[in-house]
Every structure is written in C-alpha cells, then in structure tokens.
Amino acid sequence: MLFHARKRVRLVHEVIHFDKVSFRYPDEEKWILDELSFTVKRGERIVITGPSGCGKTTLLYICNRLYPDNCDGILSGSVKLFGKNNSSFIPGEINHRIATVFQDPDSQFCMQTVEEELAFTLENLHVKRDEMENRIRDVLALTDLTEFRYAVIQKLSGGQKQRIATACALIMKPEVLLLDEPLSHLDPFTAKKYVEWLDELQKKYAMTIVAIEHRLDLWGDFFERSISLNKNEIAPVLIKRESSKQKNDSLVVDKLQANTYLQETSFTLKRGEVAVLAGPNGSGKTTLLKALCKLIPSSGTVEPKLVGYVPQSPEFLFLTKKVQDEVGFGGGNNTEEMIARLQLLPIADSHPFAVSHGQKRRVAIAAMLSDGREVILMDEPTSGQDAKALSELFQLIDERAREGTTFLIVTHDMEFANCLADSILLMKDGQLTGKFDADIVWSDEQLLMDHHLLPPKEVIHREKCFA
C-alpha cells in the first residue's frame, strides 16, 4: 500500500502557520513577501494566487524549508510546521512529510531513467531494498506511469515529466503536497484527468494540498479556499483577433522530417499567420519545433536564420548576467519597449536565472521579439503568466503578425489559442494529422477527443474570451 495511516497521536491540526513572515535577498531592498500571515490546516486544499513574480514560489520554498536553508535570503517572522518552529527541524527531516512538485520538473531530476529516479528518492529516505520494489510498482500504477518505468526521462515530453515529478513526490508518502503550477505542461484532457485523480487521492489519504495556479478554470471546485498575493490588479479581457495572414505570401515547409519520433510531414504557413500547434503530451510538438529551427537534424525549406525559437525551458538560452542585457544581446530593435511592455522593468538589473519561471519566459520572448526574425516558434509561452502578462503577449503577437511575422505556437491553453489562432495544427503519435481553421477544431468533438483537447469555455460566445 503506497500510503499508510499515521497514528492519531502524531496529528497536528495546523500543518503550516505563517505569522508576519517577510523574505528578501540581501542585495535587494524590496521584500518579496512582506508580513504575510496565514494558516493551513490538515487535509485542506489551498490555492495560492497572484501575479507573476509576486512571491508565490518563494512562499512554497519557505513551507518546505528550501528557503532560507539553501539560499542567502533574509527571513523574519514566525514559521511553524506541524506545530513546531521551522528552525527546530534538522536538515532533510521535513522533506518526506512535505513533498514538492516544482514548476520546472527538470530541475528536480537527478537520474537517467524513471525507475532510477524513484529508487534514488527512496534511497535518500533510507527505505530498505526489499520494500523499494513494492513502493515503485505501486506509485507507477497510481500515476499511470507503469509503461514508462524504464524510460529515459530527458526523452519524454514536458507533460510526462510533470507526472514523473508527481510520482517522485508521492512515493515519499507525504502528509503535505506542494504543487507549483502542476497543470502548466499538461494537455487539456490530461490536465482534467490529473485534477480528477488528485481529488480522489486527497479524499482517500486526507493529504493536505497547497498549489500555485494562474488558471483556476481547469480546477473546477477542487480548492476550498485561496491565499491571494494579488495586488488588486484587474484582469484584462482578450478580444478575439482578426486574421492578419497575407494570402499570397507563403512560407512553405516541404516534407519536414527528423531522425527521431517525428514522422515525415508537410504544411504551409502564410506570412503574418498565427498558428497554434496542439495535441497530446508526447505527441511530438516540441520535436517539430526543434526540427524546424535545426536544433535536431532535419529536412525542410525554412532557413534557420529566419527562425527564432523560445523553448519550454528558456534559461537554456541565457548568456548574460542581467535581464536587460539578455533582451538586447542579439542587437535587436525596441529592446527598451519590449522590457517595459512585458513587465520586466522591475527586474531589469536582476540575473535571468534569479527571476520567476514566468518572468524567465518573458525575458526569452522579449529577446526574440527584439531580434527581427521572420518566423517565431514558441513552446508553451503562456506557462507561468498572469492575466496582465498574457494580455500584453497577445497584443505583441497580434502587432507583429500584422507587420508580417509568422508565429507557430505550442500551447495547452485553449482559451488563449481560441483568441489568437488563425489556424490549428494537430499532432498525434509523432505525426501531423492536419491543419484546420480554428472554428472547425472547436466544433468537432471527435477531433478534440482524439487529440486530448477540450473546447474553450468561451467558444459559444466568440466575441470575447478571458485569459
């Protein structure tokens, strides 16, 4: 049995308690968290909300004692975990009781295969070898990952990695599960199933769940209450854009093929067209983008020098020590404008690696939009973005498309896709199954089901939709 009932005498009603907690880094005057107070009770389901960069992830890192133990941060106020002062726990003591699934799953993997990663987690908990097999088998079945037991993690999709990271957390039999945007890399159908599965798991084992999330619509009524770090900002409304593609000016991809999972395919994008690439986790979407910009050996007629690429993990692109320098590294135009419009001014002097996940993406997007490329490929650009950032990204893409820039965007955010896309390219099992007008995709139930998609909630009212 993966989880077991703990003796009642160990139970503490309050599992996390913050009393006027503040946190900042030594070289920054501004507090990331400023006199924050709240309590999480055993078995609760809590969501933490607020704009990108407001300190949500920092809050989780204090809950699991990653901060300030593993950084130079300054912490004031009182933090109690399971009724004890957080400083009274020895290093590593709290980590099997409070497990964390990070926003970027790659950041928490140490081993090559799924089985090795799970075994490594158990070894750190000093689990006996004869018990490991049962624990690994049970958690793989619980997370529907049995077929991936011997898979190489870095060959899997972002969504598959997210499920593996969740399995690594659950195998520790935690009392509290901390989740940092766990749906951000999941296709809509898998995200829905993840929430249903987590709902059943929490009910069965009475775990406490604290999650960071921007898009609460995916969760339904899962959460009981929220802790808001919002600064009273009003969420902008996105209006469905009119097509800007130029009918007689095409950019052709002729029999694109890579020596990987991707099968031979052909498609055409017109100059100024905004196309969304969608499909199940592991269907080959990221591989197709990498093949287009020649990051993996491939054939095709789009010249690499014309193509700009914003990957899922944008930090792989960073070469400088300041956000401002990173945006202007390619010598592009309108650098200052991009920094201002993508809300990067407050962090312009920060190291690109030291900012939030959502801010890292905006740094990479700003750099690429300043670079003057004719075709821009984006892999999950909406992940980690609040409503205001999504609205500005939407406007920038629309403006550039009208100037003739072509976009191919991988996203699982169907609300954003519905507002933005001229066309939808669908993938499944390494093959491009077709290019469709967006209206056709949203109205075809079978097509949506086959590609693990759900229709946008505003598809009936096409005049407007919300990020």
Of residues 179 and 385, the one with the higher pLDDT is 179
Segment among 29-38, 225-234, 307-316 with least mean pLDDT: 225-234
User: 96 pLDDT band (50/70/90 cuts)?
Assistant: confident
Assess whether 56 and 179 both reside in one domain: yes
Based on the fold, state whether residues 192 and 273 are members of the same structural domain.
no
Q: What is the mean pLDDT of the chain?
A: 86
Whether residue 200 sits in one domain with residue 81: yes
339 falls within a domain: no
* Total number of domains constituting the chain: 2
Q: Are residues 175 and 49 in the same domain?
A: yes
Q: Which one, of 166, 12, 183, 179, lies nearest residue 81 by Cα?
A: 12
Q: Which residue has the tokens 């800007």?
A: 244
Phi-psi region of 15 (alpha: psi -120 to 50; beta: other; left: phi over 0): alpha
Beta-strand relationship, 74-81 and 14-24? antiparallel
Q: How confident is the model at residue 243 (pLDDT cuts 50, 70, 90)?
A: confident
Residues 209 and 260 in one domain: no
Strand 250-258 to 265-270 pairing: antiparallel
- Encode 234-262: b = buried (16+ Cβ within 10 Å), e = exposed: eebebeebebbbeeeeebebeebbbebeb
Contacts of 437 (CB under 8 A, 6+ apart): 423, 424
Same domain, 175 and 269: no
For 190, residues 6+ apart whose C-beta sits below 8 A from its C-beta are: 159, 280, 281, 452
97 & 174 share domain: yes
Q: Kindly tell me the sign of the dihedral angle through the C-alpha atoms of 85, 18, 211, 383.
A: negative
Residues 94 and 219 placed together within one structural domain of the fold: yes
pLDDT at 9: 38
DSSP E strand boundaries for 137-284: 176-180, 208-212, 225-228, 237-238, 250-258, 265-270, 274-278
Q: Is residue 28 part of a domain?
A: yes
Whether residues 205 and 258 fall in one domain:
no
Question: Has residue 119 been placed in a domain?
Answer: yes
Distance, in Å, from the CA atom of 456 to the CA atom of 442, rounded to the nearest integer, reads 7
Whether residue 206 is found in the same domain as residue 259: no
Please check whether residue 55 lies inside any domain of the structure: yes
Residue 204 forms part of a structural domain = yes
Structural domain contains residue 354: no
Q: For residue 368, is it within any domain?
A: no
Query: Do 36 and 169 fall within a single domain?
Result: yes
Does pLDDT of 119 surpass 60?
Answer: yes
CATH number, domain with residue 214: 3.40.50.300
Give tens-digit pLDDT for 253-283. Answer: 576 666 667 888 888 889 999 999 999 988 9
Please give the Cα distance from 322 to 335 (Å, whole number).
Answer: 13
Whether 219 and 254 map to the same domain: the answer is no
Domain end marker among 172, 195, 228: 228
Q: Are 286 and 312 in contact (CB under 8 A)?
A: yes
334 found inside a domain: no
Residue 43 pLDDT exceeds 70: yes
Count Cβ atoms below 10 Å from residue 265 Cβ, excluding itself.
21
Strand ordering across the sheet containing 74-81: 33-41, 14-24, 74-81, 84-85
- Which one of 194, 228, 262 terminates a domain? 228
Tell me which residue range forms the domain holding 291: 249-307+373-464
